[in-house]
Amino acid sequence: MRLRPIGYGMAASVLLVAALARSAPVSAQGGFDDERPAGTPYKHQGNWEPAVATDPSNANVVYQLITGIGARECSPRCPGTSILFRRSTDGGATWGPQTFVCGLACKGVGWQFDPQIKVATDGTVYVVFMNTFDPGAVLFTSTDRGTTWSGPVTMNGSLAYMDKPQLVISPSGHDVYVSFNGKHSTYVVASHDGGHTFLAPTKTNDDDLWWYSDGGANAPDGTVYFTENGESGSASGGHQNGPNQISVLRCTSDPAVSCQDPTWTTFGTSAAPPPCPVFACYPDYYAPTPSVAADGSGRLIVAYSFSTVPNGPKSLFVRTSTDGTTWSPPDLINARGDTSFPQIANGPSSGDFRLAWQDDRTGAFNTWYTASSDGGSTWSKQVKLSNLTSGAPYKSAKGYTFPDGDYFGLAVGSTGTSFAIWGEADGSSIYCCGDVWFTRGS
């Protein structure tokens, strides 16, 4: 494993002035639909940490996954916290009912969480989520758009603990990669038969940080990238309270090894994150996180939040690369409020990237969006996706009270439509009470 440190670049104050000088006026809505709730509405439970994917061969087909806390549709025989699936066949205008990816078949599993979803060019749907920490991440596949599922396929090998999976597939779905946390170790596991079987996990770090994967991408040459934040601190368990190292993990494909020649590039160490005042919230809830996307030409963009002030607000930056080894200096996208959970996705043409995040610049939280058509050189005006000021107890003219879950979903269809899905909550408790919301546009 080789670590390539990259300097933080220009001083943050210089970047801030430059970014604010060139920023465009904020649009109230842009070309997006009004946000809509997804799944079961607010009922003193939580629906959070959603994911979204589009079918690359059919622009009308869109999929959503939701982590349903206290899901009761098949209670008491299914996990109380379950992964819920639904499908649209008209480009997100209407949606079918929520169904369980693994409900009754997962009887005895205490909870499911951290869903990921990707779709191959032949329409096969790949879903990974946690079936508790042991066996950990499991894979399900569907060849009939989620009507039926095959799985679960385990991938933990000899490990008895897995957390926070991040899924990447090749366009055909033949190659499936999952990066996951193993406490003070981080691993990548690969399948080269469409997810039927997996190689042994490859340990990719040689330090003592607590690594979490936050994004992944497959470049056209088959190289796989995962963005990761390495947590440090004195807190017990898997939620550290200290500084976070922001890095990119690069794996080359190998039929016998899950991650050949793992190479790490670090963008610096962000200060300890802002505290989370919500009941039972963990100290790394607002930890800085990175996300990565690759376009058809092989250009990569990493979007990440970062702060130089302990417990201070984080700003949003991007870096670009054409080879996954050499990266541009940081470009500041947003310094208003505390930026959290950036998500980036590539569009159908070269240089087309979409970026979304949540911040509290208004005194409440909102979900924001911008896009680039020139590979990250310039970015469009920032659009507020969470545009409704009522409709749930936690909504107001300023925004919503709390971001429900520490990540969300962003995907782009083959005709260029962006699909975003995120969580909003009242802040009464970390797991209650809120809903998942979504929108589409460009």
Can you spell out the DSSP letters for 403-420?
A: ESSS--EEEE-TTS-EEE
Among positive and negative, which fits the CA dihedral 104, 102, 70, 430?
A: positive
Number of neighbouring beta carbons within 10 Å of residue 201: 24
Q: If you average pLDDT over residues 323-334, what whole number do you get?
A: 97
Q: If you average pLDDT over residues 121-129, what whole number do you get?
A: 98
Q: What phi and psi, each to the nearest 5 degrees, are found at residue 326?
A: -100, 130
**Which CATH number goes with the domain that contains 360?**
2.120.10.10
Which pLDDT score is estimated for 16?
A: 36
What pLDDT band is residue 192 in, cutting at 50, 70 and 90? very high
Which pLDDT score is estimated for 42?
A: 56
Residue 59 pLDDT more than 70?
yes
Residue 372 pLDDT more than 60?
yes
Which pLDDT score is estimated for 104?
A: 75
Q: Distance between CA atoms of 299 and 292, rounded to whole angstroms?
A: 11
- Percent of the chain at pLDDT exceeding 90: 83
What pLDDT band is residue 72 in, cutting at 50, 70 and 90? low
Q: Are 349 and 364 in contact (CB under 8 A)?
A: no
Among positive and negative, which fits the CA dihedral 185, 191, 195, 196?
A: negative
Residue 20 pLDDT more than 60?
no
How much is the mean pLDDT over the chain? 91
Beta strands in 274-352, from DSSP E residues, in sequence order: 290-294, 300-306, 315-321, 331-334, 340-346
What pLDDT band is residue 45 in, cutting at 50, 70 and 90? low
Structure tokens at 253: 């494909």
Which pLDDT score is estimated for 24?
A: 38
Q: If you average pLDDT over residues 299-317, what whole number do you get?
A: 98
- Residue-wise pLDDT for 87-112, tens only, equals 999 999 999 999 999 977 787 888 89
What pLDDT band is residue 165 in, cutting at 50, 70 and 90? very high
Residue 17 pLDDT more than 50?
no
Number of neighbouring beta carbons within 10 Å of residue 148: 8
- pTM listed for this prediction: 0.93
Domain residues for the domain of 112 are 2-441
Q: If you average pLDDT over residues 6-18, what whole number do you get?
A: 38
- Residue-wise pLDDT for 401-410, tens only, equals 999 999 999 9
What pLDDT band is residue 43 in, cutting at 50, 70 and 90? low
Q: If you average pLDDT over residues 393-421, what whole number do you get?
A: 97
Structure tokens at 271: 């200060």
Residue 396 pLDDT more than 80?
yes
| Dihedral angle computed from the Cα positions of residues 6, 337, 391 and 95, in that order, rounded to the nearest 10 degrees | -10
Choose between 307 and 77: higher pLDDT.
307
Q: Distance between CA atoms of 262 and 3, rounded to whole angstroms?
A: 9
- Percent of the chain at pLDDT exceeding 70: 90
Q: Are 52 and 409 in contact (CB under 8 A)?
A: yes
Q: If you average pLDDT over residues 369-373, what whole number do you get?
A: 98
Which pLDDT score is estimated for 2?
A: 43
Of 20-24, 49-53, 383-387, the poorest mean pLDDT is in: 20-24
Overall number of domains in the chain: 1
Which pLDDT score is estimated for 103?
A: 76
